[in-house]
A and B are shown apart, each in its own frame.
Chain A
Amino acid sequence: MNRIHKGTSLYLTAVALIGLPLLAASGSAAAQTTATSNPATNFNPPPCDYSDQFYQDNGLDPTQVVGRFGTARRTGPPATGSQVNWVADSTCATNDPVRRNFRILATTGGFSDNGTTAPNQFISILGFVTNQNAFESAYTRKVGGSTVSITNSDNPRGEAMQDIVSNFEAYAMVKQRLPNGVFATNPCNADMQSPLAPPTPCFELNTVNAVFTPNLRQDWRFASNRNAMDGSDNNCISDDTTVCAGISDSPYGYFCDDLLGMWILTYVWYTVDPANPGPTCAPVLQDLANRNGISLDGSPIIITSTDTNDDLEGNGCGAEGQLAVDGSDGGAVWLVCPAIPDPRNGAIAKDAFLDSVHLPNGKPQNPKLTQNFLSLQKTGQFPNGGDGS
């Protein structure tokens, strides 16, 4: 996504200037680290889990992060066969002091929500949050002469982490076809159910496993309302509305406010059976299928916000919703899955693997996503030096 890449240019410059000496100095001691043979093109360290302290500094109790990489889920989805989702890596905290020494290999790919349909988004699903109580209500840590604090759930700026992260939506498309072959048109969570479809048969969202890759019908989609702190993504960072007229003005910056890279999970589903969509939805689904292809369920793939909002929801063919924030639904309400600011120049390590949806025959559902990943992994660049779109 161009916006993200432009927006991170300063970040990368800073990393290049500050990180190079560190990498060079620690090179000999980092025997178990990533293959960084050419620092000139490999200066962007791959993602690692955050330190406990960083979680706490940002208002989240690390002990309540479900399935946290580095502690749990070493094997199993998204890893398959002999793959592992994360490895110990002593350079993590060296490259970035807010990280702990577990490097993430499972690199989840997805679509940008900005209308480009580009499969060039890469994130690390570090863990899941299932309950509002995971957000700290009180926390204090002395740092030199200052204090990092969470008081009554608010950071020193008076902002609750929950409020910040709720500005950023990740869209999960869970399989709706049940093991018996029936296509369920509503989730089983009563508060989420759409009035457009019967409450049963329904598909379950009652554990975090519901969003594990084998349970997804297509790859993820991520909201593109992210802004760069330097304004280079054309997001307006002024409080003067005359300055911001006509310019994207997301109140929070993903890369500067949402430091844990958290998202609120929005589940999107079809309220009609794609095999029998009815006269209103049939042309809608046909058009979507022609544009985007078919998911593992037999339903059309959804890529953009227009697909979701205007085509599906606007015509009564689909719906969306979030789980209860008190944890009563049991599933994932939020994700701790920081987007990789810029996946080029080393961010995709040689031993990382792409977490994406595959067809029954083992081929990737979205070959372009795989191409982007492999190119980044091998050369540090998107194919042909482009932006992966």
Chain B
Amino acid sequence: MGPDGTTAIGTSKMIITGKPVNRRDFIKQAAAGTAAASLFSKRALASQKTLRILKWEHFLPDYDHWFEGAVHDWGAAHDTRIVLDKVPVEKIGAAAWAEVKSGRGHDVCIFPWPPAEYYQHTIDHTAIYAEVAQKYGAIPQLAYRSTFNLKNRRHFAFADFWMPSPLHFYQDYWGKVGMPLGPVHYGALRSGGRKLRDQFGIPSGLAFSSTLEGNITLHTMLYARRAWLLDGHGGVLFDKNMFAFEALKYLEALYKESGTPEQLTWGSAGNVHAMLARKTSSTTNAISLLRMAEKQEPQVAAKMLLQPPPLGTAGMGITALPHVTNCSVVWSFARNPDGASQLLANLVDLSKAGYEKSLGCNFPIYPKTVPDLIVRLSKDATADPSYKYVELKDALHWTPNLGVPGFATPAYMEIFNSSLVPRMVQSVLRGEHEAKDAAAIAATEMQRIVDKWERV
């Protein structure tokens, strides 16, 4: 633990006081070093409340800069000292577990997915939803199914924004194989991907690694091919029909014919970097990928198009899981639960600004906060052409919650966070297991996880 009671796990940390600090004082404070600054803070702000926040690092740093300022302003208005720590997305889980284990740490922890496994260690967030409902309406389905625990009938978290996962593809590449409009279904993704690699040496760029990107991509591909992990009641469905085997065989063919070994080993955002370098032809991701391209190399961005996810099979239609479901929890051991709850409710008021500062990555959970969303998608100031992002206009229709067809249960989220699906797929793609065996092994592990949570 740090001197101020926070854990020093982040790559960045900032302490923001609720009192106005002029620029000269701020610079002096910074120059004097952390210890002196801490002493200064303790003397001057002894009467203030403190609110400690731990959050995942957004894909776009500028958004986090804005967020820091926003919570600073909130702290100033509520006479609260804000401590904000950020950790890379791949470390948020470990950081949260460390706090739960020790029973102390931050008041609020913000996850990029539903933190269902922590439901015993959080307050009931129903009151926050109730407060927000007075301004923005009842809880939307995506939030409800992502943050409600059916066992204790409580909301274990509060969701305020999400990110769709469209397909990003280079129009010039796909045009070379007769598909300038992109691969509209998974069959086309395979056949076009094969031609692109065979004829031009450009592999597919879907993430299959044990990362957020790999997890979302593979959970989506299984779901879109009806290879559901759990049924609507939380029981294991995987490998109890032929969809799991077929989906794994499809992935195997896709990888062998159009992939690259790097897909299995990419670290966080590896698929993004490969696309930005034009080393791959397509990937699924939040639109932070396209936004980065627009910022770094507009001429590259102009060649990159978006498309709704490919048409699934077995009646699944067009569907993709959310790249991010931004869920905040107030720990049951929080020292300032009231302030934490108030902050979360108030953050919804900033959904419109959050949408703008995230360059459209953060879709609001509450549609009323950005009522002109489709207009904004239609006329984007940065996009070339300006209506490029309108492909997302129906994203809410094709985005179900993690855990679908059920809720985001502790078991499902443990399956997700343990990267069971990417590990299963990798074992097939590396030739370590036949598809049938890999599915059976994964199903056994899923059953163990489900059984464990049923005993809790």
Hey, which bits of chain A sit against chain B, CB under 8 A?
Answer: 131-133, 135, 137, 151-154, 157-160, 162-163, 166-167, 169, 191-192, 194-196, 225, 239-242, 244-245, 249-252, 264, 305, 308-309, 313-316, 319-328
Contact = CB atoms under 8 A, between A and B. Distances in A.
Interface residues of B, number: 56
A162 B315 contact: no
A328 B246 CA distance: 24
Interface of B: 137-142, 177-181, 183-185, 187-188, 190-192, 194-195, 226, 241-243, 245-246, 249-250, 253, 307-308, 311, 313-315, 317-318, 367-368, 373-374, 377-378, 385, 387-391, 393-394, 396-398, 435
B178 A166 contact: no
B249 A133 contact: no
The 6 closest A-B pairs by CB, nearest first: A158-B390, A326-B178, A316-B242, A158-B387, A251-B394, A251-B397
A163 B246 contact: no
A324 B396 contact: no
Contacts of A309: 226, 314-315
22 contacts: A153-B181, A157-B387, A158-B390, A158-B391, A166-B311, A166-B318, A191-B191, A195-B250, A239-B373, A245-B141, A251-B394, A252-B394, A264-B184, A264-B311, A309-B226, A313-B226, A316-B246, A321-B187, A322-B311, A324-B187, A324-B192, A325-B179
Contacts of B307: 163
A251 B398 contact: yes
Contacts of A264: 184-185, 311
Contacts of B385: 151-152, 154
B314 A320 contact: yes
A220 B141 CA distance: 35
B393 A132 contact: no
A267 to B, nearest CB: 10
Nearest to A160: B181
B137 A240 contact: yes
A194 B242 CA distance: 11
Most buried by A among B179, B181, B377: B181
B394 A242 contact: no
B65 to A, nearest CB: 30
Given A251-B397, A252-B394, A308 B314 contact: yes
Contacts of A153: 180-181
Contacts of A250: 397
A346 B92 CA distance: 64
Contacts of B241: 313-316
Contacts of A313: 226, 241-243, 246, 313-314
A249 B393 contact: no
B415 to A, nearest CB: 21
A191 to B, nearest CB: 4
A182 to B, nearest CB: 24
Contact of A316 (B138, B245, B313, B390): B245
Contacts of B192: 324-326
Given A315-B242, A316-B242, 17 more contacts: A158-B390, A160-B181, A163-B307, A166-B311, A194-B246, A241-B142, A241-B396, A244-B141, A251-B398, A305-B315, A321-B313, A323-B187, A324-B187, A324-B188, A325-B181, A325-B184, A325-B185
B159 to A, nearest CB: 12
A239 B374 CA distance: 10
Nearest to B318: A167
A305 B377 CA distance: 34
B305 to A, nearest CB: 8
Contacts of B388: 158
Contact of B185 (A137, A158, A166, A239): A166
Chain A residues touching B, majority SS: loop
A240 B187 contact: no
A162 B185 CA distance: 11
Nearest to B387: A158
A246 B23 CA distance: 53
B246 to A, nearest CB: 6
A309 B385 CA distance: 39
Nearest to B177: A326
A31 B106 CA distance: 83
A242 B317 contact: no
A322 B187 contact: yes
Nearest to B252: A195
A250 B242 CA distance: 27
Given A157-B378, A167-B317, A264-B185, A326 B243 contact: no
A376 B129 CA distance: 53
Nearest to B383: A158
A324 B242 contact: no
Contacts of B308: 163
Contacts of A239: 367, 373-374, 396
Contacts of B137: 240, 242
A264 B362 CA distance: 32
Most buried by B among A131, A264, A321, A322: A322
B184 A159 contact: no
Nearest to A159: B390
Nearest to A156: B387
B187 A163 contact: no
Contacts of A321: 187, 313
Given A241-B140, A316-B242, A316-B245, A158 B177 contact: no
A323 B185 CA distance: 9
Given A157-B390, A163-B308, A313-B226, A328 B191 contact: yes
B314 A249 contact: no
A195 B180 contact: no
A162 B181 contact: yes
Nearest to B388: A158
Contact of B178 (A162, A241, A327): A327
A320 B142 CA distance: 30
B379 to A, nearest CB: 9
B108 to A, nearest CB: 25
Contact of A241 (B190, B311, B313, B367): B367
A320 B181 CA distance: 23
Contacts of A245: 141
Most buried by A among B191, B307, B368, B378: B191
Nearest to B257: A191
Given A158-B378, A158-B391, A314 B180 contact: no
A132 B318 contact: no
Nearest to A236: B397
A162 B184 contact: yes
A250 B129 CA distance: 27
A241 B187 CA distance: 31
A240 B181 contact: no
Contact of B140 (A154, A242, A326): A242
B245 A195 contact: yes
Contacts of B393: 158-159
Contacts of B318: 166-167, 251
A148 to B, nearest CB: 15
Contacts of B390: 154, 157-159
